[in-house]
Structure 1
Amino acid sequence: MERESMEYDVVIVGAGPSGLAAACKLRQLSQESGNEISVCVVEKGSEVGAHIVSGAVFEPKALNELFPDWKELGAPLNTEVKRDDIYLLKNDTKQIKVPNFFTPKTMHNDGNYIISLGNLCRWLAERAEELGVEIFPGFAAAEVVYHEDGSVKGIATGDMGIGMDGQQKDSYMPGMELHAKYTLFCEGCRGSLGKELIEKFSLDEGKEPQHYGIGIKEIWEIPAEQHEQGLVVHTAGWPLAEHGAAGGSFLYHIEDNQVALGLITDLSYSNPWLSPFEEFQRYKHHPVVKQYLSGGKRISYGARAITKGGLQSQPKMHFAGGLLLGDDAGTLNFAKIKGSHTAMKSGMIGAEVVFKAVTADRANDDLVEFAAAYAGSWAHKELHTQRNFGPAQHKWGNLIGSAYAFIDINIFNGTLPWTLNDPKPDYAQLKPAEDFAEITYPKPDGKLSFDRLSSVFLSNTNHEEDQPCHLKLKDASIPLGVNMPTFAEPAQRYCPAGVYEVLEDANGDAKFQINAQNCVHCKTCDIKDPSQNITWVTPEGTGGPNYPNM
């Protein structure tokens, strides 16, 4: 069956903060000028927000520009930050509280809000539809469509009803092509189409490799007497530092006696026995955290990779026929542990550039003017000011790296005349398993700590079982032939959803098993596999987690 096609002026891939901000801005400009342009957004989740995971402390700078009356419009920013507590955890029982004066000013959250980013995206989607944007949830953008000259023509959604054997089932429906004058790719961290575009157009030429973390998050209901709405708690050090890894945690007191908490593990770690999921379970037993969770109930679980390389790793964001925006291009400010505001701003800048091109009857051009517009924005200035935070953490660890950041950011305001380098990709940091003692993690107690499968259950993850596996191995022999003898096959541990297992078959031989049904779409396997043998592609639309308010 031939694929049908639809024509739009602008197609946007991904209903996250950058994509929705771009959609809203395009239609605002259209209405203000009287120049009608058509905009559609495709989203692989079952609904807008279903795949969104973030802490999240939200800086409203971009939202103030996009919707100055957001309070009157009922944006779900309900909890203003009241206090910041920052701790260095020395071990599993001891900690040092860091005076606010000695923390990088990027960690101060005056005027910010603790939110559900998923709920904010749902609200932005409502505004977009009111402005005339067409939004199609449940349709995964599975393929980039190109013109004969190599410029981007649009995207194709994935075929539905393909069996695990690759054959068409009775329910088969071919995907649809969405053609546009310009296509904006806003898939979030490690977008599968963004990865293809970066390679095809050499967008990362002359750049350092992108760097990542894996964020694992839960939401808890806690006793009222342990709750302090508006309190923000960050920690560094234990448990990750015990195994030579870097990262940090967050615990945010939101409304309704709930807290959002999580651990971000830098994917630059070298010990293949380390499990970010198990480290998160250990973290919850520390007295600083346990004091809030004891007697509470876990109600949500999720995980997602984040980009944290900063400007040094940010690819060129324009190419013939489209733009790469938000965390698809790595706009997150790791020094702030925030990226929604910069992602939104990149989307808004992209919308302004594209709108001018479309109304000037241009199509499929390389929008080189985007680079200057982005470079002149506050988002780029912010990322430039704080460009050395991540590399300093990688070079010198949390303690010395944070001390450097204090001097760089608080005293010199990011004007020191050098840029630190971080040239080794995260997957290449992994060392042989024989160099380390195997880590024995404590069993979950079912009160504060839990296993993977009960956690995945809380993410409401589901995939149509009879479909091709969306976790592709370039070489099926590598997991057991290379990764197992050298790295004790780390996919068993870095995946936060129990997707990868090494089992014994009926003959007692090792078998590498992929439980694709469990996948929460975090993309960690695509990033951290030491052989770069795993490629994450989109499963059928609506598949994956269904987060209510992450």
Structure 2
Amino acid sequence: MQRETMEYDVVIVGGGPAGLSAAIRLKQMANEAGRDISVCLIEKGSEIGAHILSGAVMNPRALDELIPDWRERGAPLDTPVTEDRFYILSAEGQLHVPHWIMPTCFDNHGNYVISLGAVCRWLATQAEELGVEIYPGFAGNEVLFDETGAVKGVATGDMGRLKDGSEGPAFQRGMELHARYTFFSEGCRGQLGKQLQAHFSLNAHNDPQTYAIGIKELWEIPPENREPGVVIHTGGWPMDPHTYGGGFLYQMQDGLVAVGFVIGLGYDNPYLSPFEEFQRYKTHPRIREILTGGKRISYGARAIAAGGLQSLPKLVFPGGVLIGDDAGFLSASRIKGAHCAIKSGALAAEACFAALIDDRRADELSALPEAFRTSWLYDELYAGRNFKPWMSKGLRKGALMFGIDQIIFRGRAPWTLRNHADFTRLKAAAECTPIDYPKPDGVLSFDRLSSVFLSNTNHEENQPCHLLLTNPENAIRVNLDIYDSPEQRYCPAGVYEIVHDAVGNTPRLQINAQNCIHCKTCDIKDPTQNITWVAPQGGEGPNYPNM
């Protein structure tokens, strides 16, 4: 069955802040110039914001540039930051780090505590008012190339295939969306972005990307514990001093609190469980006193591209561009990505608009790299480029050296540290000590399955598994035998499970794909890069309300 085709000037894959901002900027410039430019945006989530998960404290700088009257238009930036607090935790206590000693990158004056999902839904309304066509529930599943090898668009995934790949009774073929230029803004470790980086050798001159996993819950807390606008960051416990990780707690309006934990995926102990570390974190006396008496509302997790400037790939290729976290635009030292994503989308839109006006098609948007190089976004990423490499060396050494980098050299140190791929860092299980995690108490700490329930995750079970093993034998021969199956622990949703057959007690890997919350950690951390995440049917996965 042939796929239907639709033609646009620009197709954007992904409805996060980068893709939506690119769409808005394109239509703004087209309307100002009196030009008719067609822009289509597809989003794999069931609605805009369904797959959006971030802390989040937002710097409004990029939004000020994109939509200067965002306040009058009702953008959901309702909670200005009132106070920053940073603690170094021990098992039972904490050290409050004075504000004057903190590098300026940790200063949130002028920023807002937000739900990034709500901000994206608002951005979508702004885009649609400008004439952007937005289609949620459609996953970009395949990159399309023309006869010269340039990208000519994407195909959306088929619907209604059965588990064996055959066409079921409700089968619907995906559509081809052709464009003069295609923007890829799928978020961290995007499926198509990963393929494009390999196809066009976009990583030939940069360090490997490094990642973290962020796990977050949304709580409603009692009135006596509420301090809207207070932003808390922590280092130290429950992580050992040699493992990069830290917690956050952001107070919003209406008694809502975003609490979460971030762990760098370059850790070496295969027994470490980011999910269990987060559950322990909430039992610390400082965090407990804020959450006690509250109710957990939502749960989710997402990988974070944290390598910074030296891990950015080449952004442009014939017919397309990588933007947002698909490229790795995140200011790791500021623990912020939304303003970087918005700016990267706007810069790409401006380069693309110039090409469209010149009636170019499917070439490289050569103006973009220089526009990025002369932007404040480059300056910010350059100043923080050594954050993740230093912090990966341990809390004490990392904090000291990054403090010197920022306070003495003001981000202009005469060195740039290198990044290394996270999957290469795991040690064999025999070299490591198992970690004894306490059982969840059902009050502050919880199990994986009850947490996944709160993510509103849904997948049609009778469809092809979207978690692909390049070599199924590696799951036992390498992952189990050498690393004691770390996928059982680094997955925050209970997707991977070692079970034993009744006959012969033979171990095998069971993949509970219906639990997947699309965090991409397995695609990143698997020690032999044996797991590949691909998009399931459009509209599936988590449905985050206000994450």
What are the Cα deviations for residues 263-304 of structure 1, in whole angstroms up to 9, with x where unaligned? 001000000000000000000000110010111110000000
2:211–2:306 CA contact under 8 A, matched in 1: yes
**Alignment partner for residue 449 of structure 1, among 445, 452, 464?**
445
Q: Once the two structures are aligned, what percentage of the paired residues are identical? A: 58
Deviation at 1:240?
A: 1.5
Compute the RMSD of aligned alpha carbons.
0.8
Match of 1:83 in 2: 83
Moved more, 366-375 or 67-76: 366-375
Deviation at 1:493?
A: 0.2
Match of 1:514 in 2: 511
**Alignment partner for residue 526 of structure 1, among 511, 519, 523?**
523
Deviation at 1:517?
A: 0.1
1:104–1:402 CA contact under 8 A, matched in 2: no
Residue identity in the other structure for 1:524:
T
Residue identity in the other structure for 2:46:
S
Deviation at 1:411?
A: 2.9
> Aligned pair 1:484/2:483, yes or no?
no
1:80–1:112 CA contact under 8 A, matched in 2: yes
Match of 1:546 in 2: 543
CA distance in 2, matches of 1:116, 1:531: 36
**Alignment partner for residue 319 of structure 2, among 313, 317, 321?**
321
Deviation at 1:412?
A: 2.1
CA distance in 1, matches of 2:407, 2:140: 42
Moved more, 408-417 or 92-101: 408-417
CA distance in 2, matches of 1:240, 1:11: 43
SS in 1 for 2:276: helix
Match of 2:8 in 1: 8
**Alignment partner for residue 505 of structure 1, among 490, 501, 504?**
501
CA distance in 2, matches of 1:437, 1:398: 20
> Aligned pair 1:428/2:424, yes or no?
yes
Moved more, 442-451 or 98-107: 98-107
Structure 2 unmatched ranges of 5 or more: none
2:55–2:258 CA contact under 8 A, matched in 1: yes
CA distance in 2, matches of 1:497, 1:509: 24
Match of 2:172 in 1: 173
Q: How does 1:84-233 map to 2 (within 5 A)?
A: 84-90=84-90, 92-233=91-232
Q: How does 1:381-460 map to 2 (within 5 A)?
A: 381-395=379-393, 397-422=394-419, 424-460=420-456
What are the Cα deviations for residues 137-178 of structure 1, in whole angstroms up to 9, with x where unaligned? 000000000011110000000001100011100101100000
1:301–1:456 CA contact under 8 A, matched in 2: yes
1:103–1:402 CA contact under 8 A, matched in 2: no
Q: TM-score, normalised by structure 1?
A: 0.98
SS in 2 for 1:241: coil
Q: How does 1:9-28 map to 2 (within 5 A)?
A: 9-28=9-28
What are the Cα deviations for residues 374-413 of structure 1, in whole angstroms up to 9, with x where unaligned? 1111101110111111111113x12221222222223322
> Aligned pair 1:61/2:58, yes or no?
no
Structure 1 unmatched ranges of 5 or more: none
Deviation at 1:506?
A: 1.5
What are the Cα deviations for residues 522-548 of structure 1, in whole angstroms up to 9, with x where unaligned? 000000000100000000000100001
1:5–1:177 CA contact under 8 A, matched in 2: yes
CA distance in 1, matches of 2:210, 2:155: 29
Q: How does 1:298-317 map to 2 (within 5 A)?
A: 298-317=296-315
CA distance in 2, matches of 1:343, 1:412: 27
**Alignment partner for residue 274 of structure 2, among 247, 267, 276?**
276
Match of 1:354 in 2: 352
Match of 2:234 in 1: 235
SS in 2 for 1:26: helix
Residue identity in the other structure for 1:43:
E
Match of 1:371 in 2: 369
What are the Cα deviations for residues 401-448 of structure 1, in whole angstroms up to 9, with x where unaligned? 1222222223322112111112x2101100000111211211000000
> Aligned pair 1:468/2:464, yes or no?
yes
What are the Cα deviations for residues 169-200 of structure 1, in whole angstroms up to 9, with x where unaligned? 01011000000000000001000000000000
Match of 1:248 in 2: 246
Residue identity in the other structure for 2:198:
E
Residue identity in the other structure for 1:426:
D
CA distance in 1, matches of 2:525, 2:403: 30
CA distance in 1, matches of 2:62, 2:389: 26
CA distance in 1, matches of 2:198, 2:508: 32
What are the Cα deviations for residues 250-272 of structure 1, in whole angstroms up to 9, with x where unaligned? 10000111110100010000000
SS in 1 for 2:75: coil
2:47–2:136 CA contact under 8 A, matched in 1: yes
Residue identity in the other structure for 2:227:
E
Q: How does 1:254-269 map to 2 (within 5 A)?
A: 254-269=252-267
2:243–2:392 CA contact under 8 A, matched in 1: no
Runs of 4+ more than 2 Å apart: none
Residue identity in the other structure for 2:230:
L
1:234–1:248 CA contact under 8 A, matched in 2: yes
CA distance in 1, matches of 2:239, 2:212: 13
CA distance in 2, matches of 1:376, 1:69: 25
Match of 1:336 in 2: 334
SS in 1 for 2:71: coil
SS in 1 for 2:62: helix
Match of 2:33 in 1: 33
1:494–1:524 CA contact under 8 A, matched in 2: yes
2:243–2:395 CA contact under 8 A, matched in 1: no
CA distance in 1, matches of 2:240, 2:58: 27
Aligned residues: 546
Residue identity in the other structure for 2:415:
W
SS in 2 for 1:240: coil
CA distance in 1, matches of 2:408, 2:254: 39
2:58–2:113 CA contact under 8 A, matched in 1: yes
SS in 2 for 1:8: strand
What are the Cα deviations for residues 213-241 of structure 1, in whole angstroms up to 9, with x where unaligned? 00000000111101100000000111112
2:217–2:297 CA contact under 8 A, matched in 1: yes
Residue identity in the other structure for 2:108:
N
SS in 2 for 1:124: helix
SS in 1 for 2:240: helix
CA distance in 2, matches of 1:398, 1:110: 25
Deviation at 1:370?
A: 0.9
What are the Cα deviations for residues 3-45 of structure 1, in whole angstroms up to 9, with x where unaligned? 0100000000000000000000000001000011000100000
Residue identity in the other structure for 1:60:
P
